[in-house]
Structure 1
Amino acid sequence: MSDHPAVESVVARVKAVYGSWRRDTTVAQMRADWDHLFNATGDASVEPIECAGVACQWITAPGARTDKAIMYLHGGGFQVGSLASHRELMAELSAAAGVRVLGVAYRLAPEHRYPAALEDTLAVWHWLQAHGFRPRDIALAGDSAGGGLALSTMLALQEKQQDLPAAALLMSAWTDLTASGESYQTRAAQDPIHQRPMILAMARNYLGKTGDATDPLVSPLMAAPAQLRGLPPMLLQVGDCETVLSDSEAFARKAREAGANARCEVWPAMIHVFQQFPAELHEARQAMASAGQFLEAHLGAASKRKTSS
C-alpha cells in the first residue's frame, strides 16, 4: 500500500490501537480504545432514545427528512464498536442519503452471545413499525459484523414471512463466520489487521460453545437460494485489500444467482470499512456518495429534499 500514503496513515492509527492490546487487556478497555479512535463530531444532531428496551440514537444531518429511516448496525466483531465509534459514519450517511439514521446499540459478546444481537435488532425493527414507519420507509445499513447482522435480520424476517426493508447497504460485511473465502489467503498479505485467526476467534466469542457458524442467521453466506430470492435491493461495498473481500463478493454473486438485486462495489487499495475515514480518504467520501444515491433511490427520499430546498 506504499502507493497510497493516506491509507498507510489510517492503517498506522488503527494498528496503534490494536498493538496496545495484550492478553490481559479487558474488553472494556478495548471498547474504550476503539471509541477513542473515532472521535470526530460534525453538525448532525444526536438524540438518545430507547427502542423496545434497546439503547439507540437518532443521528440527523441538517436538512435530512424524518419520515424515512436508515436503521444502522455498527461493526466491531460483535465485541467492540458502539454508537460513539460510528457516530461520524452515521452522520455522513444521513447527509449523503438525506434521511435520519437510527443507530442501534445491540448487546455485545462475550457478555451477550448469539442470538442477543439479532434479538435486539429485530426488536428495534418492530419498534420502528409500531411508531409509524412502514417497512418500505426503512433501509437497513451496517458495516463488518453489523453488515452481516443486517443480512441476518432480513433472513429472520423472511423466515417469519414478515415485511422486509426497502433496501440494505452493507459495508465490508462479515457474511461467513467460518472464514472459508479464498480472500482469507489471497488478501492475507495486503490486509494489515484482519487475519483469519483473529476472525475465527471473534466468531468463537460471539457464538460460544453452542453456536453454529454455518447457520444462515449467523453466516448469511450459508443461506439457501430460496432464502435469498426475496431480499430487497442490496449495495455491498468492500475494499480490495480486505481478507473479507470474498464475504461480499460471494454473497452478492449468490444473491444474484437466486434472483435478488445485489450490487458489489470493490474499491481498489481500500481497507476494512474505509468509509470510517472520510477526512483522510477521498475514496471514503466517494463511497458514501454512492451509498447515499442508492438509499435515496430506494427510499424515495430525493424528491422531497429537492422540492423543499
Structure 2
Amino acid sequence: MAGYEVSPEFAELVGQLRAAPFRADTTAVSDLRANFEKFAATFYDPPPVEFVPDNADGVEVEWAYTPGCDRSRVVLYLHGGGYTIGSIGAYRDFCARISEGSGAAVLSVGYRLAPEHRFPAAVEDSVAVYRWLIAHGVDAAHIVIAGDSAGGGLTIATLVRLRDSGVELAGAGVCISPLADLAHTGASVHEKAHADPIVTPEGSHAYGVRYLGDDGDLTDPIASPLYADLHALPPILIQVGTAEVLLDDSLRLARKLRDSGVSVDLDVWPEMIHIFPFFASRIPESRRALKYMHTFIENTIGPSPKQHA
C-alpha cells in the first residue's frame, strides 16, 4: 500500500529475519526444529499465566489460563511449522496472549509431526483433542479452533473432518496465514517470494513433501483444504499480510468459503509478513491484529464474564 509506514519494531524484525533466513528446503529437520525453538524464545514475554500440561486421549496438550479467564470457553490452538516443526513450548507466549485478550482458556495441541508421523497424523490428533473436549463437557458453541500457517490449514481440515463425521462443530475458526494449498498453485507463491522473509516456495514445498511423502497427493482435500468441500462450516476469521508467499492461499480460501455459504472475515494487513500476529511481544501491528482476533472470538462464542463484569 502506497504511503503505508510500518513500525520501527517491525522493520527491525524483518531485518533480523533476512539476516538469518529459514531454509526449510536445505536444512535438516532436527536443526530446523532447534532453530525455531531458539527463535521463538526471543519473543517469550507472556502476561501473567498458568500453564497446565494435560493428556487428551494420548495427545499431548497444555492449558494456558490467564487470571480470571472463563474456562468454559476454549480456544483450541494448532501451532504452525509446516507440519514438521513448532511445539507447545514455542507458542506459550502467543497462547497466553490469546487467553488474556479473549478471556478464554487456550488449549495448545502437541500434534504429531512429520516426517516421523505423516499425513493424516496431525488431523487425527486435532480431531481427537476436539472430541476429548466435547466428552469432558465443553459446549461446542463455546470452542474456537485456531491456528497459524500449517495450523491454519489444519484448522479448516479439522472442521471438515468433524463435519463429515457428524460431530457438532465449534462456534468459530481462526486461520492466521493459513497453508491451505500444498500444491502451491497461487500466484503469490512466486510474486511475493522477494517480499517474504520467512517462507520460500522451495521451503514450503519441502514441508509438503515431508508431510505427505514423495508420492503424496498435494491436493488431498484434508491435507490442502482449499480443495475440500467447505459447506456448513462455522464463521471463520482469516488474518494475512500482503508480504506473504502464501497470501493467495488466504484470498482463495476466503473466496471458496464465501461461495460455500460460510461467514468469512478476511483481515488483510499491508506489508505484514507470515504469521505476523505471533510476534506480539515486540511488534505493535501484531498486538493490533491480536486485538482484532479477540473481538472476533467474543462476537462468535460470546464474551467472558470478566469482560462484562
- TM-score range for the pair, normalised by the shorter chain length: over 0.9
Is there any run of 5+ residues in structure 2 with no aligned partner, and where? none
Is there any run of 5+ residues in structure 1 with no aligned partner, and where? none
User: Structure 2 vs 1, CA of residues 16 and 83 (structure 1 numbering), >3 Å: closer, same or farther?
Assistant: farther
**What secondary structure, in the 3-state scheme, does the structure 2 residue paired with 1:142 have?**
strand
For the 8 Å contact 2:61–2:108, the answer to whether it is kept is yes
> After the TM superposition, which parts of structure 1 deviate over 4 Å for at least 4 consecutive aligned residues?
19-23
Quote the residue 2:152 is aligned against: 147
CA distance, structure 1, for counterparts of residue 23 and residue 205 of structure 2: 21
1:306 and 2:302 aligned: no
Identity %: 38
Quote the residue 1:13 is aligned against: 16
For the 8 Å contact 1:17–1:33, the answer to whether it is kept is no
Quote the residue 2:58 is aligned against: 53
Quote the residue 1:79 is aligned against: 84
CA distance, structure 2, for counterparts of residue 19 and residue 132 of structure 1: 41
Q: 1:270 aligns with which of 269, 272, 278?
A: 272
CA distance, structure 1, for counterparts of residue 205 and residue 78 of structure 2: 21
CA distance, structure 1, for counterparts of residue 49 and residue 60 of structure 2: 19
Give the Å deviation of 1:307.
Answer: 4.3
CA distance, structure 2, for counterparts of residue 307 and residue 228 of structure 1: 34
Q: Give the alignment's TM-score, normalised by structure 2.
A: 0.93
User: Structure 2 vs 1, CA of residues 143 and 300 (structure 1 numbering), >3 Å: closer, same or farther?
Assistant: same
**What secondary structure, in the 3-state scheme, does the structure 2 residue paired with 1:46 have?**
strand
For the 8 Å contact 2:111–2:122, the answer to whether it is kept is yes
| Structure 1 segment 179-258 matched on structure 2, within 5 A | 179-223=184-228, 227-258=229-260
Give the Å deviation of 1:11.
Answer: 2.5
Amino acid at match of 2:91: H
User: Structure 2 vs 1, CA of residues 82 and 241 (structure 1 numbering), >3 Å: closer, same or farther?
Assistant: same
Give the Å deviation of 1:221.
Answer: 0.6
CA distance, structure 1, for counterparts of residue 281 and residue 111 of structure 2: 27
1:99 and 2:104 aligned: yes
Q: 1:41 aligns with which of 38, 41, 45?
A: 45
Cα deviation, 1:230-249, whole Å, max 9, x if unaligned, reads: 00000000011001001011
CA distance, structure 2, for counterparts of residue 19 and residue 101 of structure 1: 28
Higher deviation after alignment, 102-111 or 31-40: 31-40
CA distance, structure 1, for counterparts of residue 186 and residue 292 of structure 2: 26
User: Structure 2 vs 1, CA of residues 186 and 22 (structure 1 numbering), >3 Å: closer, same or farther?
Assistant: closer
CA distance, structure 2, for counterparts of residue 191 and residue 21 of structure 1: 14
CA distance, structure 1, for counterparts of residue 208 and residue 129 of structure 2: 24
Q: 2:171 aligns with which of 160, 163, 166?
A: 166
Alignment root-mean-square deviation, CA: 1.9
User: Structure 2 vs 1, CA of residues 216 and 307 (structure 1 numbering), >3 Å: closer, same or farther?
Assistant: same
CA distance, structure 2, for counterparts of residue 244 and residue 22 of structure 1: 16
